[in-house]
Amino acid sequence: MKKILMLMLLFTGTLKAGTTWIPISNGGNFIIIPFIPSEKYNQPSNVTLVKLSNGVTITWNDIQHASKYRVEGLDSNGNWVLLREVDSNSVTFSPLPVGISSIRIMACSYTSCNNSGLWSNSVALKKQIIFIHTDLLGSPVVETQGGEK
């Protein structure tokens, strides 16, 4: 039984966003507990957007000992709202979330996402193009929106 558990622990250590398990043996009793760091997780880095025909895939670097990731979006009122909690270092939105302009990610422990890590830098989902029209002397006269990029 102990050999099987140790073998399982070896394989779970290679998965993305996998909980790190600590085996504890006390005589005849054998238990496994999740490792939960006492300090906050680092912020996810290298957050990358890959545009799809009708959505987007977001990826980031894996954080050691993180069990899952919290993905939040910035809504039109300026509030960060929960979009998903995922157990890998990528997420796909197809179609794009309505009214969400930016995304941020935080690593979570086995028990909670509540203040467990530092937030990644936010990444814009859509970029607005604004044209500034000038007069003959180069002074701005009017701004118009040219759509999304």
Q: Has residue 115 been placed in a domain?
A: yes
Rg of the chain over all Cα atoms, to the nearest angstrom: 22
Written as six digits, the tokens of 131 are: 């044209």
pLDDT tens digit sequence for 15-28: 445 667 667 777 77
**Amino acid at site 87:** D
Q: Is residue 16 part of a domain?
A: no
48 occurs within a structural domain: yes
Give the Cα separation of 27 and 35 in Å (integer): 21
pLDDT range class, residue 29, cuts 50, 70, 90: confident
Using CA atoms, how far residue 147 sits from 16, 45, 77, 78, 133, in Å, is 37, 29, 20, 20, 16
Q: Does 25 map to a domain?
A: no
pTM: 0.64
Residue span of the structural domain in which 73 resides: 36-129
pLDDT (tens digit per residue) in 99-113: 888 899 998 877 777
Is 94 inside a domain boundary? Answer: yes
- Domain count across the chain: 1
Instruction: Read off the CATH number of the domain in which 48 is found.
Output: 2.60.40.10
Three-class DSSP category at 128: strand
